[in-house]
Structure 1
Amino acid sequence: MIEKKAWAVNGYFALILILALIIGGIALVIQENLVGIPMIILAIILASGILVVQPNKSYALVFFGSYLGTIRQPGLWLSVPLAIRKGVSLRVRNFNSKTLKVNDIEGNPVEIAAVVVFRVVDTAKAIFDVEKYEEFVEIQSETALRHIATRYAYDNFEGQGFSLRGNPEEVSHELMNELQQRLNLAGVEVSEARLTHLAYATEIAGAMLQRQQASAILSARQIIVEGAVGMVQMAIERIEKNGVVELDDERKAAMINNLLVSIVSERSAQPVINAGTMY
């Protein structure tokens, strides 16, 4: 169902008309004129159509099972008398999901939670197309969050590809897009969706921490080795270019070995003075 504008007129003018009908009707009844009775009844019926609309509030009007339209404009209005009014807040609201335990694409149990910022933009859909749109938002938010969490790994230890921890902005954007597709049915607009909690489940948190530490150590070692090889290569090239000493293959191998050990080693190198020849 699509929202449409309901018929409504200025409520202040309607109040004046209703008061005039009541006063006139009472005056006629006092004069024993029966015309005053229908005037009073008409005033009561018109009074049932008076409606006060607060800012960021809307009312959907239903008359004998038929949707007549929605009033969004704040103020005092006279609409269809005897119509049932169903109010919907248009304010921006937050929904904080529960901390969910799901398995990522690698099968690792992770804990994940998110906050969703939303507001109603179509009152007809929110009221008539879903049962309790607020509960619908909560259920669909958690469903979308579970779906996103199962599509990617918590962390990418190889340093390439998409992961929940390594790409928070992309994950939030994808979560918001999926939520919007799900909540269009309820006439709800998603303004923002972001992860508020992301961690390994307690039963594997210790093991995964060791894995992260090992991965970090390996990455650091790789950088150190690459830098050491570059430094050794530069040192040998300069020695040969400047003609400091002529190095055969055996001396080059010994020099490369000593330099790599001194650079890559975690401990400070202990200098050893060779008093004799190398042969």
Structure 2
Amino acid sequence: MKEEKSTTAVSGYIAIVVLLIVAIAIFAGAVYNNTWMVALGIPISLAILKGLTVINPNDSNVLILFGDYIGTVKKEGFFWINPFAVRKRVSLKARNLNGHKMKVNDKLGNPIEIAAVTVWMVKDTAKALFAVDDYIQYVQVQSEAAVRHLANLFAYDNFEDEEATITLKDGAQQVSQMLERELNERLERAGIDVIEARITHLAYAPEIASAMLQRQQATAVVAARKQIVEGAVGMVEMALERLSAKDIVQLDEERKAAMVSNLLVVLCGEKSVSPVVNTGTLYN
């Protein structure tokens, strides 16, 4: 597998000076009817012109001479390069790959929609051009495969898998780190460095979204009711202890049960309670 090697190029300004000298020689040959000078000067000037190139910041030129990789010029500036060498421009800038939404199954088999954004750049120009057919398409395909694989490893949430320590919904940081690590492993062959990878869209598939929403709502209601009941029991316990400690009233077991029942109804009820005054006793 080819690996990147840096190479230098002749300054383009030196080539311009040589071109001016050759142009003067051609003019002098034309004036003094020196055909040899003209015949040699024209192809030399054309070769100089063809070899002139400009390399912008964060760009590179990969040079191939007669099928042989001779090096990569990464230094920005104005250069003259062998006119017989094929120059292939490779950008070294960071790029965004905004993946489209994909429908996949999570660890528990639930259909979900997921999408990710990947920030990447070319690290090795030789691998990018010679190790794969099209490195941009290679990044797209491998990114999609990595996201699918990651979605299959974890559950969407821990409603069905309570022992799950990492889920797609709640473990965003860990999931993003794992995605970035897997992408770097997959794209190393193409000389690509993944700077960042994050999940940008995560949702249940439309066909089960309604059912999952109802399940989440039911879970929230149960959790809220549990909290209310725990608070109500604590308040009833505190009331009984205070009444007993201050010896305000002596309650037998039956009256305690009635008091607990009434307090729980008042504290746990969803609507305002209308009190009923009992003028008798519990025994009449």
- TM-score, length-scaled by structure 1: 0.90
2:136 maps to 134
1:182 maps to 186
1:143 maps to 145
2:116 maps to 114
Q: What residue identity is the alignment partner of 1:103?
A: N
CA shift for structure 1 position 59 = 0.8
Q: Deviations over 1:88-134 (max 9, x none)?
A: 12222222222111111111111111222222222112111111111
Q: Tell me, yes or no, if the aligned pair for 1:104 and 1:153 is still in contact at 8 Å.
A: yes
**1: CA distance between counterparts of 2:261 and 2:44?**
105
2:96 maps to 94
CA shift for structure 1 position 254 = 2.5
Q: Tell me, yes or no, if the aligned pair for 1:101 and 1:201 is still in contact at 8 Å.
A: yes
Return the match for 2:236 from 232, 235, 245.
Answer: 232
Q: Does 1:203 align with 2:207?
A: yes
For the residue of structure 2 that corresponds to 1:112, the secondary structure is: strand
Return the match for 1:217 from 192, 214, 221.
Answer: 221
2:47 maps to 45
Aligned length: 279
Q: What residue identity is the alignment partner of 1:165?
A: K
Aligned alpha-carbon RMSD (Å): 2.2
Q: Tell me, yes or no, if the aligned pair for 1:61 and 1:68 is still in contact at 8 Å.
A: yes
More displaced 10-residue stretch of structure 1: 65-74 or 173-182:
173-182
1:191 maps to 195
Q: Tell me, yes or no, if the aligned pair for 2:25 and 2:37 is still in contact at 8 Å.
A: no
Q: Tell me, yes or no, if the aligned pair for 1:7 and 1:79 is still in contact at 8 Å.
A: no
Runs of 4+ in 1 over 6 A off after TM superposition: none
Q: Percent identity?
A: 49
CA shift for structure 1 position 83 = 0.7
2:279 maps to 275
Change (3 A) 1:233 1:159: farther
- TM-score, length-scaled by structure 2: 0.89
**2: CA distance between counterparts of 1:159 and 1:259?**
37
CA shift for structure 1 position 39 = 4.8
**1: CA distance between counterparts of 2:38 and 2:52?**
22
**1: CA distance between counterparts of 2:257 and 2:164?**
35
More displaced 10-residue stretch of structure 1: 226-235 or 245-254:
245-254
More displaced 10-residue stretch of structure 1: 153-162 or 229-238:
153-162
Change (3 A) 1:126 1:181: same
For the residue of structure 1 that corresponds to 2:36, the secondary structure is: coil
Return the match for 1:54 from 56, 60, 71.
Answer: 56
Q: What residue identity is the alignment partner of 2:71?
A: G
Q: What residue identity is the alignment partner of 2:250?
A: E
Q: Tell me, yes or no, if the aligned pair for 1:26 and 1:40 is still in contact at 8 Å.
A: no
Q: What residue identity is the alignment partner of 2:79?
A: W
1:5 maps to 6
Change (3 A) 1:76 1:196: same
**1: CA distance between counterparts of 2:94 and 2:173?**
22
Q: Tell me, yes or no, if the aligned pair for 1:104 and 1:151 is still in contact at 8 Å.
A: yes
1:245 maps to 249
More displaced 10-residue stretch of structure 1: 39-48 or 208-217:
39-48
Change (3 A) 1:219 1:159: farther
CA shift for structure 1 position 192 = 2.5
Q: What residue identity is the alignment partner of 2:13?
A: Y
Q: Tell me, yes or no, if the aligned pair for 2:233 and 2:264 is still in contact at 8 Å.
A: yes
Q: Deviations over 1:121-162 (max 9, x none)?
A: 221121111111110111011111111111111122259632
**1: CA distance between counterparts of 2:192 and 2:210?**
41
CA shift for structure 1 position 48 = 3.3
**2: CA distance between counterparts of 1:55 and 1:173?**
30
**2: CA distance between counterparts of 1:234 and 1:65?**
89
> Please, which runs of 5 or more residues in structure 1 have no aligned partner?
none
Q: Deviations over 1:228-262 (max 9, x none)?
A: 12222222222222222233333333322222222
